[in-house]
Amino acid sequence: MSDEVATALAQDRVIDITTVGRRTGEPRRIEIWFHRVDGRYYISGTPGRPRDWYANLVAHPEFTFHLKESATADLPATARPVTDPVEREKVLAGLLAPLSEFTSKPGQELEVWVANSPLVEVTFGSRAR
């Protein structure tokens, strides 16, 4: 990993991801935030309705993580849905700590995020086949 990519992963927040559509098999690209918690990388969304990007990653875990802020790079990645409630609480608590301006509103408490938010851990590089 280049120094430029490592720096972007350490300081940037906004990325694009390209997933494979679970029904169509077609590529789907969206803008989203990523987070670093305890040296690991995660993608999540606010509590609420189901997300297509999450359903796509559950069906097809390999995707492309597009850096676009301080560096430009297309990184092959794999998503692991985080479903264990204890792990979800730990990760989401770390993820939400610097975002208190969002989580101080009613309906945005940690318990709501744990129960109702999509959450995947991201690892870089393609899976061995």
Q: Tens digits of per-residue pLDDT, 28-76? A: 999 999 999 999 999 999 898 899 999 999 999 999 999 999 999 999 9
Q: Which domains are present in the chain?
A: 3-124 (2.30.110.10)
pTM above 0.75, yes or no: yes
d(CA 90, CA 68): 28
For 50-84, b where at least 16 C-beta lie within 10 A, e where not — what string?
ebebbebbbeebebbbbbeeebebebebbbeebee
d(CA 121, CA 76): 14
Q: Are 34 and 65 in contact (CB under 8 A)?
A: yes
